[in-house]
Amino acid sequence: MSDSASEKNSVLMEKIVSLCKRRGFIFQSAEIYGGLNGCWDYGPLGAELKRNLKDYWWRKNVQERDDILGMDGSILTHQDVLKASGHVGGFSDPMCDCLLSNARLRADQIEPQSGTVYHYSGASHAESDWSVEREYAVLIGEGQDENKARKTARLFFSKFLKDKQISPKKLELAGERTEAVEDTTRFNPANGSLLTEPREFNLMFKTNMGASSDENDESTVAYLRPETAQTIFVQFKNVAETNRVKLPFGIAQIGKSFRNEINPRNYTFRSREFEQMEIEFFCRPEEGLALTDEWLERRLVFYEEIGIPREHLHILDIPDGERAHYSKKTYDIEYEFPFGIQELEGVAYRGDYDLSKHIEHSGKPLEFFDDETKEKFVPHVVEPSAGCDRTILAVICEAFEEETVTDEKGKEETRTVMHFSPRIAPVKAGIFPLLKNKPELVEKAREIQAQLAPFMNVFYDEAGAIGRRYRRQDEIGTPYCVTVDFETLGESGDDLKDTVTLRERDSMKQERIAIADLRSFLLDKMV
RNA sequence: GCGGGUAUAGCUUAGUGGUAAAGCCCUAGCCUUCCAAGCUAGUUAUGUGGGUUCGAUUCCCACUACCCGCUCCA
């Protein structure tokens, strides 16, 4: 991406963020107290939008299918569940920082090195009467010049100089001693500098349960779930046994998960609290790979249905070696955000890894008995796991447009439009009387509002000129506006009596429609 | 976590070591027969905490948050 394109995209992102705040889609969490890093709140319109997305996903994946069942698991999670899944031991990265360059490295990914370690206890500068005492060390590989160690050490100690004019070369090193080491991972392979002690960053939020809980009592430890998936695996047996299921079948869940991200970024994209929409689709081992491809295709259709065209999505077929060790196939579905191409959803074939782990740790039989073949086995699972908040952000980015329109007088102006699909638009229709000081118009408009309100979210507005009201709805992505005018009242004859102006958002075209047909017309657009 | 930047009203921006300005938005009223019209009135801001100072929104320090680049993303 060129600098100018990158700048343009960050301006675009700022406009989107600003609109989201101005119109009440998304607010910063605890804003009046300075904000909470990596947390966001949905305002009135954002809450509607998100609810519509979740409802549509649930309807398509649970209610319209007879082979997927829903559930809603607890967020607080038994520590043994996450020990079994590997999250307690493995859901953390030991990190260390280079003392010289401040580069951050994964401690477990450093190649072991051998050579001579040059230790130092400090440095001084005689002319300015300056000195520092601090342990430091540099690793010199075999055959390398030992003066490189001194040069690196001077560079390190020079970071503590107040007077930046003093050259590192003028520093006097103290306490040099050497030591031969083998296979150490304590030094930065790039420059030989000593690293900080590895620190664990477990990405899970840990808490203690019970009224008399004691922080140090290991038995009271519980976690906020880092993914919704584990609650599904843990309830696999209960769901399967209470529902007369046949393979393949799925269990779906929408819910909050929590990860203590080191570095939340990009608006709501990487948040510490986020919502997932996940399906664990259980199948016979031989069906797994084909079902993974099927799910990928089905999920792409879903994104198209909520207004994200396929050409703005990227499918990443995660190659061997980069997938989780238990996965035989993983696709990432990515979207072209203004800040870069980023993942919305992963479709992963996880084999029998999760159920097997829970069988092993709980000692409970979670095998599936197939009545037809009389076989007993651990089902394999395909997991389409979508980020709800990420999808909302993608939908918002995709919908946003600043359109240049020319009015009758030839004057150009900017129309801000959110092109939300009617399926997920927060407001389905604006209901307006043409003029607010004509009681007959107001009364009729209120009647229409009352007729539609039980079926969909509509918004009544009588303030300001009609054009302004249309534009206000454009900006929040309302697909249709209904205007009660004098024809509605029968002033232009009986033909137009009880019809209204229906104005479509994207084309700004107007047509007349009978009040009696409004409800079915609008509902049809939302299926 | 590192480096750089930013923080004034709901939004976008002025400005100042001594009463903080404007446009848009919003609210109320008047007016208005289809795409942000007009008139009148009105609400709302210097992120938080310290320091320097008679006095700080302005200068300094710390913190918090956001943005950009690294890093990370099981």
* Sequence-distant (≥ 6) Cβ neighbours of residue A454 within 8 angstroms: none
C1' of B22 to CA of A163 (Å): 46
Own/partner pairs, A293-297, CB within 8 angstroms, 24+ separation: A295/A347, A295/A382, A295/A384, A296/A331, A296/A333, A296/A347, A296/A384
* Helix, coil or strand: residue A174: strand
C1' of B56 to CA of A36 (Å): 28
Residues A188 and A101: beta-carbon distance below 8 Å = yes
Kindly report, residue by residue over A395-415, the tens digit of the pLDDT: 999 999 998 887 766 677 889
Q: Which residues in A171-286 belong to E strands, given as ranges? A: 172-174, 177-184, 199-202, 206-208, 221-224, 249-258, 273-283
CA distances from A452 to A375, A425, A455, A524 (A): 53, 16, 6, 13
Task: Tell me the average pLDDT across A374-389.
Answer: 94
Kindly report, residue by residue over A149-166, the tens digit of the pLDDT: 888 888 888 777 666 567
Scanning residues 269 through 298 of protein chain A, those with a beta carbon under 7 Å from any atom of strand B turn out to be 270
Task: Tell me the average pLDDT across A222-242.
Answer: 94
Residues A232 and A253: beta-carbon distance below 8 Å = yes
Look up residue A254 and give its amino acid: I
Question: Residue A1 pLDDT more than 60?
Answer: no
C1' of B64 to CA of A264 (Å): 15
Closest CA to A13 of A240, A267, A188: A267
Residue with CA nearest B3 C1'?
Answer: A102
* Sequence-distant (≥ 6) Cβ neighbours of residue A453 within 8 angstroms: none
Instruction: Identify nearest nucleotide to residue A31 by CA to C1′ distance.
Output: B65
- Decide: CB of A226 under 7 A of nucleic strand B: yes
C1' of B60 to CA of A479 (Å): 53
- Decide: CB of A367 under 7 A of nucleic strand B: no
In this structure, chain A runs to a length of 527
**C-alpha span between A429 and A449 (Å, rounded):** 9
Two tokens at A17? 């963020």
Question: Residue A416 pLDDT more than 80?
Answer: yes
Dihedral sign from CA coordinates of A429, A435, A439, A441: negative
Look up residue A509 and give its amino acid: K
Q: Which residues pair with A1 in a beta bridge?
A: none
ipTM for this prediction: 0.91
* Residue A445 Cα to chain centre, angstroms: 40
Strand order in the sheet with A340-351: A68-71, A249-258, A273-283, A380-387, A340-351, A329-337, A313-317
* Sequence-distant (≥ 6) Cβ neighbours of residue A404 within 8 angstroms: A412, A413, A414, A415
Instruction: Identify nearest nucleotide to residue A327 by CA to C1′ distance.
Output: B74
**C-alpha span between A380 and A295 (Å, rounded):** 14
**DSSP secondary structure code for residue A318 in this structure:** P
Residue with CA nearest B2 C1'?
Answer: A102
**C-alpha span between A367 and A352 (Å, rounded):** 10
C1' of B59 to CA of A148 (Å): 44
Kindly report, residue by residue over A288-341, the tens digit of the pLDDT: 999 999 999 999 999 999 999 999 999 999 888 778 888 999 999 999 998 888
Instruction: Identify nearest nucleotide to residue A21 by CA to C1′ distance.
Output: B10
Residues A170 and A124: beta-carbon distance below 8 Å = no
Instruction: Identify nearest nucleotide to residue A90 by CA to C1′ distance.
Output: B74
C1' of B42 to CA of A465 (Å): 20
- Decide: CB of A508 under 7 A of nucleic strand B: yes
- Decide: CB of A90 under 7 A of nucleic strand B: yes
**C-alpha span between A159 and A155 (Å, rounded):** 7
C1' of B44 to CA of A32 (Å): 15
Kindly report, residue by residue over A61-78, the tens digit of the pLDDT: 999 999 999 999 999 999
Question: Residue A347 pLDDT more than 50?
Answer: yes
- Decide: CB of A10 under 7 A of nucleic strand B: yes
C1' of B53 to CA of A18 (Å): 38
C1' of B59 to CA of A128 (Å): 30
Task: Provide the positions of strand B that have an atom within 7 A of a protein CB.
Answer: 1-3, 10-12, 25-28, 30-37, 47-48, 64-74
What does the pLDDT read at residue A405?
A: 84
**C-alpha span between A240 and A234 (Å, rounded):** 11
Does residue A10 come out as left (phi exceeding 0), alpha (psi in the -120 to 50 range) or beta? alpha
Residue with CA nearest B73 C1'?
Answer: A261
Quick one: how many helices (H) and strands (E) in chain A? 13, 28
Pairing of strands A206-208, A104-106: unpaired
* Helix, coil or strand: residue A255: strand
Scanning residues 401 through 420 of protein chain A, those with a beta carbon under 7 Å from any atom of strand B turn out to be 405, 407-408, 413-416
Kindly report, residue by residue over A101-126, the tens digit of the pLDDT: 766 677 777 778 888 898 888 888 88
C1' of B17 to CA of A31 (Å): 30
Question: Residue A198 pLDDT more than 50?
Answer: yes
* Sequence-distant (≥ 6) Cβ neighbours of residue A5 within 8 angstroms: none
What does the pLDDT read at residue A317?
A: 92
Kindly report, residue by residue over A263-295, the tens digit of the pLDDT: 788 899 989 999 999 999 999 999 999 999 999
What does the pLDDT read at residue A2?
A: 46
Scanning residues 118 through 147 of protein chain A, those with a beta carbon under 7 Å from any atom of strand B turn out to be none
What does the pLDDT read at residue A6?
A: 67
- Decide: CB of A469 under 7 A of nucleic strand B: no
Closest CA to A21 of A44, A49, A38: A44
Kindly report, residue by residue over A500-517, the tens digit of the pLDDT: 999 999 999 999 999 999
On the 0-12 / 13-18 / 19+ scale of CB atoms within 10 A, A408 is exposed
